[in-house]
Amino acid sequence: MSDEHNPHFLGCAGHPFIQTPHLDALAAQGTRFTQAYTTSPICVPARAGFATGRYVHEIGFWDNADAYDGSVPSWHHVLRDAGHEAVSIGKLHFRGRPGDDHGFSREILPMHIIDGIGDVKGLVRENIPVRKGGDKMAKLAGPGESTYTRYDRQIGLAACEFLRRQAQPAPDAKPWVLFVSMVAPHFPLTAPEGWYDHYAALDLPLPKLYQQDRRPHHPFTDEYGRVVDYGSHFHSDDDVRRAIAGYSGLVSFMDERMGQVLATLTATGLASNTLVIYTSDHGDNLGARGLWGKSTLYEESAGVPLILAGPGIDAGKAVRTPVSHVDCAVTILEAAGAPALPRASGHSLVDLAHGGTPSRPVISEYHAIGSTGGATLYRHGPWKYCHYTDKPVQLFNLDDDPQELHDRAADPAARDMLQRCAAALRTHLDPVDVDRRAKQRQQALLASYGGREAALARGDLGFTPAPGTAPAFN
């Protein structure tokens, strides 16, 4: 797993200039799901959904101050309890307090939320002030090393060492699972010099609909852009291109680290009987429509790359069936021969890769930073319905309009489909009730940390520090 990898920034996805040779090779060896989604387009709830195989409204870890604590069973718990070795290396973004049991046999170099409480200011959902530190996105874009790139190098080396040790398992050993979780291409957009220079030398295009007079406006994204004001600190096209070069450099840097791990898997002889899943916790808008970071329901943010490779998986195949991170838990346990996860919402990716019919909806939710009301994405065939509890809905037909250039919500010709999507969503959840539950939990957490003023005084966490480094508050 990487962090914040826009699903379009893959060579195998047809990107015009990104270099991801190792992930492209993995896709050529296996099956790529072209319409995959995170359970939430922000780190902490996304990772809770991935761990438990359930949607955010089912498990209640809502935002970046409400992290997974092990209280809901995960695929790691099931594996460990059934006698399998389940090891994580790298970023988890769980609560991480003393006594928390996240279910892994071992956690190597773990990154958890800061102080076990995370981004408390994100709990404020009314009269939200502009966050500080928004200048970091533009200011830190450029060549160099960051604490994150150094951390990812450690993660890659530790993963290779784990695999070398697994090359000679005990005769009666059960299948093991290794979760390698890197931070790139998450900002800061500081990329190793060689990769940054490679992309900076190109004639990089501006992001989709970036120009002021071309940007679509919706109250949800306008509010997010006001509160998380990364965009106001990009003063020129050169600033934007510098950020794109930094992000692209981090994608290629991450691809190198993943290639290092995959090469070790092959060199140790383990590749022939190992199932590999590659994905990211969520995507990144990267300037599209003038938006930066994640936190929206657009494909750049809520979509994720997802590749499945290994024994029995068709090579060079692309599957358009919408899939979700909840499907990963089912797939991991199935591959290991472990018991099923109780109440898991997912469907086997192996079955879906072979043409199976999904038995669950695909949903992504947002109840976090910069939003006054809940946002819910629901896939209904080619249609993508976006419900906002306090703002107008959106509707896109991704077969006809994969770039999401035409919101059909107000189109009379799509009125029947809009109603069908709204009704279909409500067979799975009540968005208004979910919003109420999220805010009730957030208000209780906020009160436990001293209330609104105490949260605002704590400051804005720019990004979670890598292990052994100091937090960056403003």
Q: Is the pLDDT of residue 473 over 60?
A: no
Superfamily of domain 11-360: Alkaline Phosphatase, subunit A (3.40.720.10)
Could you read off the pLDDT of 223-250 as tens digits, one per residue? 999 999 999 999 999 999 999 999 999 9
Q: Is the pLDDT of residue 65 over 60?
A: yes
CA-to-CA distance for 451 and 448, rounded, in angstroms? 7
AA identity, residue 37? Y
CB 280 within 8 A of CB 301: no
171 preceded by cis ω (within 30°)? Answer: no
The band of 56, judged by pLDDT with boundaries at 50, 70 and 90, is very high
DSSP β-ladder status, 323-324 and 36-37: parallel
Amino acid 379: pLDDT: 97
- Domain map of the chain by residue range? 11-360
Amino acid 469: pLDDT: 81
Burial of 66 by CB count in 10 Å (0-12 exposed, 13-18 middle, 19+ buried)?
buried
Query: 461 versus 255: which is more confidently predicted?
Result: 255
AA identity, residue 426? R
CA-to-CA distance for 334 and 352, rounded, in angstroms? 13
Looking at beta carbons, which pairs linking 106-112 to residues 24 or more positions away fall under 8 Å? 108/158, 108/162, 109/151, 109/154, 109/155, 109/158, 109/467, 110/467, 111/151, 111/183, 111/464, 111/466, 111/467, 112/67
Which whole number is the average pLDDT over 11-33?
Answer: 98
Q: Is the pLDDT of residue 149 over 70?
A: yes
Amino acid 199: pLDDT: 98
The mean pLDDT of the chain is 96
The band of 200, judged by pLDDT with boundaries at 50, 70 and 90, is very high
Q: Is the pLDDT of residue 336 over 80?
A: yes
Residue with tokens 């010099």, as numbered in its chain: 193
The band of 321, judged by pLDDT with boundaries at 50, 70 and 90, is very high
Q: Is the pLDDT of residue 474 over 60?
A: no
**191: β partners:** 143
Element (H, E) at 418: helix 415-426
Burial of 272 by CB count in 10 Å (0-12 exposed, 13-18 middle, 19+ buried)?
exposed
Give the contacts of 115 (CB within 8 A, at least 6 positions apart): none
pTM, full prediction: 0.97
The band of 322, judged by pLDDT with boundaries at 50, 70 and 90, is very high
Give the neighbor-by-neighbor strand order of the sheet with 391-397: 363-366, 375-380, 383-388, 391-397
Amino acid 225: pLDDT: 96
Amino acid 355: pLDDT: 96
Amino acid 359: pLDDT: 87
Amino acid 302: pLDDT: 98
CB 206 within 8 A of CB 287: yes
| Three-state secondary structure call for residue 238 | helix
**380: β partners:** 383
Which whole number is the average pLDDT over 364-390?
Answer: 97
Amino acid 468: pLDDT: 81
Give the contacts of 295 (CB within 8 A, at least 6 positions apart): 41, 42, 224, 228, 301, 366, 368, 369, 370, 371
Could you read off the pLDDT of 284-300 as tens digits, one per residue? 999 999 999 999 999 99
CA-to-CA distance for 190 and 185, rounded, in angstroms? 9
The band of 458, judged by pLDDT with boundaries at 50, 70 and 90, is confident
Is the sign of the CA dihedral 143, 278, 271, 75 positive or negative?
positive
Q: Is the pLDDT of residue 444 over 80?
A: yes
Q: Is the pLDDT of residue 189 over 80?
A: yes
